[in-house]
């Protein structure tokens, strides 16, 4: 009993009708590295947010025992006081401040309200030594690379006398050397008696460093296995072993000739111009075809799509976009739209909709010129168009004059789709088209996608949900670390096979 530092039992967490965690249990032994694996959306991050108090006590069901005592955290400060520290995927550092200031942010070394700089820098140096980061504590965090920033985060955790360290995808943004260093550090901390929980998609890392692996799927605990001798294939089968009872609308593919080909596409990260995000990717789409793009978080799916669509992401982009046999210029969004491309973002609230405007004005936003005569918009035509899409796509709203911010996720997604359908594209790139949408609305979105293909358009679907890709697509490309690592037809595609491609080439 006292061997277990953490016991989570029967954790159930619901968001507005969607059950994110269902009776999840997790037991972590003292001094081990415990890996949590699962597909995107399996509930890993939610579980960690419950543990760290981001989702406070009372918003979930179930019990948490930390070092044998029941916990009821109201916020992240509560959990940190007990020695549970979470390091998120997006680092929470103030870039302008120095390393030392970041280490003691909210926990300042001070005397009578004034910062004790000597003590701050001295203690910071000691912490940096512990994590093996050779940097001056007065260096601004922005001057460090992502790998070193990650180490600063860990040093910050150590400053809080951490007993349980939680890392959410710690190596997703790191190169091989930095990843290696980080894993070595975790190994060292284990020897000091610090327990770690690590969420990772990189199964190679998991099998190498973890002592125990817990697999989550669809918000449930599937199994907890000792990591020793565990194969990646074994973990994958646990991650994907979901029943394929999802219902997809029936469809008879009618596939024509190639309409779009992306050749030798390479994109670099704007934050780190020497880091390759998309690596020499080549893929093609045919008329009437639904093609999937599978990849784990950080594989470069969205980056690939957005860089093609008007260079909306990335620097140092090279490669060709060929449409109907001719190279086209997609350097601007307008150019991409003019050549019949459409991109539906994975984040509809941030990139897709003007939430304070109504349905009508959102539907027309990408093709307002079509409704205009010499620069003047015909609002009545605009209304007719919006009304037509409202009916044909089943956008459930009292009127097209309703602000889109008040619609449900599924209906918002339909508005975004309507906006792009109104541009009459030949190729649609749909990035996570069913994210955050309930099951009923998903079916409707699938039907819309099928209709788009039936109209002779090519659709590229980016999705984290493998069953969705299998149920929807004629062909699926797998992307791993920016490279196309595989291409499988509908007949050959299985989740296991895709998952192998998606994790291929990862250390």
Question: Contact residues for another protein (CB under 8 A)?
Answer: 245, 309-310, 312, 332-334, 336-337, 343, 345, 350-357, 361, 365-366, 368-369, 372, 375-377, 379-380, 383-384, 396-399, 401-402, 419, 439-441, 444
* Least gap, CB of 352 to another protein (angstroms): 6
* Least gap, CB of 202 to another protein (angstroms): 30
Residue 141 CA to residue 130 CA, distance in Å, equals: 18
Per-residue 3-state assignment (H helix, E strand, C coil) for 179-226: HHHHHHHHHHHHHCCCEEEEECCCHHHHHHHCCEEEEEECCEEEEEEE
Residue 49 CA to residue 397 CA, distance in Å, equals: 34
Residue 449 CA to residue 413 CA, distance in Å, equals: 12
Residue bearing tokens 């550090």: 185
Q: Which two tokens stand for residue 230?
A: 């565990």
Residue 496 CA to residue 240 CA, distance in Å, equals: 7
In the bound state with another protein, the residue whose beta carbon lies nearer, of 365 and 466, is 365
In the bound state with another protein, the residue whose beta carbon lies nearer, of 62 and 471, is 471
* Least gap, CB of 306 to another protein (angstroms): 8
Cβ atoms of residues 166 and 197 within 8 Å:
yes
* Least gap, CB of 349 to another protein (angstroms): 9
In the bound state with another protein, the residue whose beta carbon lies nearer, of 1 and 16, is 16
Distance of CA 129 to the CA centre of its chain: 33
Q: How far is CA 507 from CA 48, 207, 279, in A?
A: 24, 10, 17
Among the listed residues 283, 260, 278, 281, the one whose alpha carbon sits nearest the alpha carbon of residue 316: 278
Residue 377 CA to residue 362 CA, distance in Å, equals: 14
In the bound state with another protein, the residue whose beta carbon lies nearer, of 441 and 499, is 441
Residue 279 CA to residue 294 CA, distance in Å, equals: 15
* Least gap, CB of 309 to another protein (angstroms): 7
In the bound state with another protein, the residue whose beta carbon lies nearer, of 426 and 481, is 426
In the bound state with another protein, the residue whose beta carbon lies nearer, of 57 and 349, is 349
The span from the first CA to the last CA of the chain, in angstroms, equals 35
In the bound state with another protein, the residue whose beta carbon lies nearer, of 276 and 317, is 317
Among the listed residues 490, 472, 426, the one whose alpha carbon sits nearest the alpha carbon of residue 288: 426
* Least gap, CB of 68 to another protein (angstroms): 42
* Least gap, CB of 419 to another protein (angstroms): 7
User: Beta partners for 28?
Assistant: 6
DSSP-derived pairing of the beta strands 164-168 and 195-199: parallel
* Least gap, CB of 241 to another protein (angstroms): 20
In the bound state with another protein, the residue whose beta carbon lies nearer, of 27 and 423, is 423
């Amino acid at each position: 009993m006292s061997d277990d530092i953490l016991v989570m039992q029967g954790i159930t967490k619901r968001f507005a009708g969607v059950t994110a965690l269902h009776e999840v249990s997790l037991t972590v032994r003292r001094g081990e590295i415990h890996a949590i694996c699962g597909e995107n959306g399996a509930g890993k991050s939610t579980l960690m947010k419950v543990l760290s108090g981001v989702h406070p006590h009372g918003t979930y069901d179930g019990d948490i025992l930390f070092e044998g005592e029941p916990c009821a955290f109201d916020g992240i400060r509560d959990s940190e006081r007990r020695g549970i520290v979470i390091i998120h995927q997006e680092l929470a550092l103030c870039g302008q401040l120095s390393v030392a200031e970041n280490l003691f942010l909210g926990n300042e070394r001070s005397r009578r309200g004034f910062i004790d700089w000597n003590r701050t820098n001295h203690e910071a140096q000691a912490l940096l030594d512990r994590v093996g980061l050779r940097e001056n504590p007065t260096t601004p965090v922005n001057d460090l690379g992502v790998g070193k920033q990650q180490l600063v985060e860990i040093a910050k955790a150590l400053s809080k006398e951490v007993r349980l360290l939680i890392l959410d995808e710690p190596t997703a943004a790191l190169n091989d050397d930095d990843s290696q260093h980080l894993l070595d550090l975790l190994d060292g901390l284990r020897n000091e008696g610090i327990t770690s929980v690590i969420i990772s998609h990189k199964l190679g890392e998991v099998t190498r460093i973890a002592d125990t692996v817990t697999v989550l799927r669809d918000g449930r605990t599937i199994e907890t296995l000792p990591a020793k001798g565990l194969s990646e294939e074994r973990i994958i089968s646990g991650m994907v072993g979901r029943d394929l009872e999802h219902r997809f609308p029936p469809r008879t593919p009618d596939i024509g000739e190639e309409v779009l080909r992306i050749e030798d596409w390479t994109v670099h990260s704007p934050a780190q111009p020497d880091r390759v995000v998309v690596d020499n990717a080549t893929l093609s789409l045919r008329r009437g075809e639904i093609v999937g793009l599978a990849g784990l978080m950080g594989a470069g799916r969205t980056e690939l799509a957005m860089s093609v669509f008007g260079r909306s992401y990335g620097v140092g982009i090279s490669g060709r976009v060929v449409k109907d046999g001719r190279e086209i210029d997609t350097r601007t969004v307008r150019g991409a739209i003019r050549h019949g491309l459409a991109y539906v973002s994975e984040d509809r609230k941030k990139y897709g909709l003007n939430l304070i405007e109504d349905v009508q004005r959102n539907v027309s936003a990408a093709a307002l010129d079509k409704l205009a005569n010499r620069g003047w918009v015909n609002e009545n035509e605009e209304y007719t168009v919006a009304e037509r899409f409202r009916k044909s796509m089943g956008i459930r709203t009292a009127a097209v004059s309703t602000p889109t911010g008040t619609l449900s996720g599924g209906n918002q997604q339909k508005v975004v789709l309507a906006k792009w359908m109104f541009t009459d594209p030949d190729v649609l790139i749909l990035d996570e088209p069913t994210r955050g949408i309930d099951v009923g609305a998903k079916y409707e979105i699938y039907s819309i996608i099928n209709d788009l293909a039936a109209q002779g358009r090519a659709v590229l679907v980016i999705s984290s949900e493998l069953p969705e890709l299998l149920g929807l697509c004629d062909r699926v490309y797998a992307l791993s670390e920016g490279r196309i690592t595989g291409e499988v037809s509908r007949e050959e595609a299985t989740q296991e096979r895709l998952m192998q491609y998606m994790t291929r080439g990862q250390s």
